[in-house]
Amino acid sequence: MTNNNRFYKSLIIVCLLIVFNACTTSNQSPRNEVAKKEEVFVIKNVNIIPMTVDNKIIEDATVIIEKNKIVSINAVIPNNATIIDGRDKWLIPGLIDMHVHNLSSGSFSKGYPTRGATLTFDTQNMMTPYVANGVTTVFELSGRIGHFSQRDEIEKGSVIGPRMAIAAVIDGEGNEIVATTPEEGRQSVRNAKGLGYRFIKVYTWLTPETFNAIVDEAQKQEMKVVGHVPTAFEGKPAEEFFIPHFGLIAHAEELSKQTEDYSYKKAQEFARLAKENGTWLIPNLTNMEWIIKQAKSLESVKTLPSLKYVHPLMQNKWITSNSYNKNATPELITYFQKQADFHKLIVKAFKEAGVSMVAGTDAGISGVVWGFSLHDEIKLLVDAGLSNEEALASATRLASEWLKIDDKIGTVEVDKLADLVLLDENPLEDIRNTSKISGVFVNGKWLEKATIEKMLTDLTQWNDTNKEKFLWKNRKNL
Ligand SMILES: [Zn+2]
């Protein structure tokens, strides 16, 4: 396991490098062409999949959206409303990715006190792949100050993007916030709260004592805790890390790294402990799929259709400096494959035990493209044993419940915010239909298919034009 740990450690450092601080500049984009919030929209004759607990489909319905809210279902159509034809289409809540890493601006070159970021990322370009894919809320799990700036731009309406929940990462080494003693852990939680974070992410290199103190302090500060299971728990009984208020595990991999027993019985033991402790799980199957694909061959990345929507610096890095591929050995690939198989058993066992699971992708890690990857994750959850409806709930209602915003989003109901995806075909019949998108409402802004296509074309063009400027090997000059 030590070799693997070293491997993970090097990956973590690489991952951190890609997630910079601060924010953004802006270029042209269709943001001004999008209808204003005040407009009234009516989706006529649509089939609503509300994703409420009973999820009773409402056929041939009329949905009225005013400002950024669903104001009524099947009421009289107001005058001067913009009509959207929903005939033979399906309306679902906006999708939520519970595990993302957004690029935000920073610098690879040496700084000095008055020097800001030298490498900036256009926030609209960062957010377009999300909204184009119906992803209207994301949970940023490597929170930096720059992510707050992104959230502000979206909130102000200068960028069309998803709602952002942001977690501060606390680690034992190698991360921005480091805590090596329980007291430092507690202080780090209080500091994060002071900076405006609402969530804490616990990380791999914490000692068990510091991990316990962080989770306890977060509870006192009313901040929910998501994260990794520290490596220091390896070989110890799982009861030691399933502690009260450790609310969400960031990937199933956190569990497979704790054991060499990849039996269904072991998966059931984790499931029982998670259930008793109230800990939810982000299975994060798509990330492990991509780790395996890249370890085997870089062709998988080079031929990825959504690669063109990735910032050119990252496109170049994923191809020329891909640590999953560089560090791969046949033994490691076999180990990853065993983990991936075990993760499917974990999903099955957690479902059987009634543990809630939410969809998250690790978007931003090589191969895992923002927005597009959530559809892959939902499909993989179905392959692992969730029903189509359960998989969809993991990316809508359940995710909003964990984030405690289920009074605002997560279902299609009157008085909810208008985060909606209009689909050409029924995702309850075939889960792959979540990507057959006819249009998206993001906080009441309507993006019809043509608008989405234009946004994606603009993004591709910008990425293509700037390819030579952003070579990974030259990053220190950026
Ligand atoms: Zn992650």
Q: Could you list the pLDDT tens digit for every one of the 478 residues in the chain? A: 344 444 444 444 334 434 443 333 344 444 444 545 468 999 999 999 999 999 999 999 999 999 999 999 999 999 999 999 999 999 999 999 999 999 998 888 887 888 888 899 999 999 999 999 999 999 999 999 999 999 999 999 999 999 999 999 999 999 989 999 999 999 999 999 999 999 999 999 999 999 999 999 999 999 999 999 999 999 899 999 999 999 999 999 999 999 999 999 999 999 999 999 999 999 999 999 999 999 999 999 999 999 999 999 999 999 999 999 999 999 999 999 999 999 999 999 999 999 999 999 999 999 999 999 999 999 999 999 999 999 999 999 999 999 999 999 999 999 999 999 999 999 999 999 999 999 999 999 999 999 999 999 999 999 999 999 999 999 998 8
Residue 89 counted as domain residue: no
CA of 174 to the centre of ligand 1 (A): 15
Cα separation of 439 and 348, whole Å?
33
Q: Considering all CA atoms of the chain, what is the largest pairwise distance in Å, rounded to the nearest integer? A: 67
CA of 469 to the centre of ligand 1 (A): 27
Residue 277 counted as domain residue: yes
Residue 470 counted as domain residue: no
334, amino acid identity: T
Q: Which residues of 216-228 are buried (b: 16+ CB within 10 A; e: fewer)?
A: bbbbebebbbbbb
pTM surpassing 0.95? no
CA of 141 to the centre of ligand 1 (A): 6
CA of 108 to the centre of ligand 1 (A): 21
Number of residues that make up the chain: 478
State the residue for tokens 């690669």. Answer: 307
CA of 419 to the centre of ligand 1 (A): 24
Tokens of 298: 């870089």
CA of 284 to the centre of ligand 1 (A): 9
Residue 323 counted as domain residue: yes
CA of 213 to the centre of ligand 1 (A): 22
**DSSP 3-state of 84:** strand
pLDDT number for residue 106: 86
Sign of CA dihedral 49, 52, 57, 63: negative
CA of 425 to the centre of ligand 1 (A): 31
CA of 99 to the centre of ligand 1 (A): 6
CA of 12 to the centre of ligand 1 (A): 9
CA of 427 to the centre of ligand 1 (A): 27
Helix then strand then coil, % of the chain, to nearest 5: 45, 20, 40
**DSSP 3-state of 62:** strand
Q: Element (H or E) spanning 341, and its range?
A: helix 330-353
CA of 22 to the centre of ligand 1 (A): 19
Residue 311 counted as domain residue: yes
Containing structural domain, residue 139: 2-30+95-412
CA of 289 to the centre of ligand 1 (A): 14
CA of 367 to the centre of ligand 1 (A): 13
pLDDT number for residue 22: 32
CA of 248 to the centre of ligand 1 (A): 13
C-alpha atoms less than 13 angstroms from C-alpha of 282 in its C-beta half-sphere: 32
Residue 167 counted as domain residue: yes
Which residue, 193, 142, 200, 133, is CA-closest to 162? 133
CA of 13 to the centre of ligand 1 (A): 12
CA of 204 to the centre of ligand 1 (A): 11
CA of 105 to the centre of ligand 1 (A): 18
| CATH value at residue 222 | 3.20.20.140
CA of 106 to the centre of ligand 1 (A): 19
Cα separation of 21 and 105, whole Å?
5
The per-residue pLDDT for range 377-396, each reduced to its tens digit, is: 999 999 999 999 999 999 99
Tell me the residues surrounding ligand 1 (ion) with CB < 5 Å.
362
CA of 67 to the centre of ligand 1 (A): 34
CA of 100 to the centre of ligand 1 (A): 6
CA of 68 to the centre of ligand 1 (A): 30
Number of domains in the chain: 1
pLDDT number for residue 107: 86
CA of 350 to the centre of ligand 1 (A): 21
Burial of 25 (0-12, 13-18, 19+ CB in 10 A): exposed
CA of 16 to the centre of ligand 1 (A): 10
267 alpha-carbon distance from chain centroid: 24
Sign of CA dihedral 34, 128, 419, 140: negative
Q: β-strands 445-448, 437-442: how paired? A: antiparallel
217 alpha-carbon distance from chain centroid: 25
Categorise residue 443: left if φ over 0, alpha if ψ from -120 to 50, beta otherwise: left
DSSP 183: H
pLDDT number for residue 38: 65
CA of 197 to the centre of ligand 1 (A): 17
CA of 282 to the centre of ligand 1 (A): 11
Residue 418 counted as domain residue: no
Tokens of 353: 């035990």
CA of 250 to the centre of ligand 1 (A): 7
CA of 296 to the centre of ligand 1 (A): 21
Which residue, 384, 411, 455, 405, is CA-closest to 199? 405
Residue 128 counted as domain residue: yes
The angle at the Cα of 371, spanning 366 to 372, to the nearest 5 degrees, equals 75
**DSSP 3-state of 116:** coil
